[in-house]
Structure 1
Amino acid sequence: MNIRLNNKALFETNTGLKVLEVDLTTILPEVPFELSQFTVAVDGHSPDESHEEREIWIITSGSGQLKYKGAIYNLIAGQAVTFSPNIVHTIKNTGETTLNVISIWWKEQ
Structure 2
Amino acid sequence: MKDAELITLGDITAYSPGVVLQEVKGIGNQQTTCCPVKLIEFRLDPFAVSTPHSHPSSEIWRITGGSGRVVTNDGELAVKAGDLVFLRPDRTHHLENSGCEALSALSISWRETR
CA distances 1:72-94 after superposition (whole Å, capped 9, x unpaired): 11100000111111000100101
Which position in structure 2 is the counterpart of 1:26? 28
Which segments of 5 or more consecutive residues in structure 2 lack a partner in the other structure? none
CA distances 1:11-54 after superposition (whole Å, capped 9, x unpaired): 31452100101234327925331101000000101100100111
Which position in structure 2 is the counterpart of 1:44? 48
| RMSD, matched Cα | 2.3
Which position in structure 2 is the counterpart of 1:108? 112
Which position in structure 2 is the counterpart of 1:11? 13
| Letter of the structure 1 residue corresponding to residue 88 of structure 2 | S
Distance in 1 of aligned mates of 2:6 and 2:66: 25
Greater shift, 68-77 or 46-55, is seen at 68-77
Greater shift, 3-12 or 46-55, is seen at 3-12
More strand by share: 2
- Given the two structures, how large is their TM-score scaled by the length of structure 2? 0.83
For the pair 1:60 / 2:68, whether they are aligned, the reply is no
Share of identical aligned residues, percent?
27
Q: How many residues align?
A: 109
SS of equivalent to 2:112? coil
* Runs of at least 4 residues off by over 6 Å: none
Deviation at 1:8, TM superposition (A): 1.8
C-alpha change, 1:108 and 1:22, in structure 2 (3 Å) is same
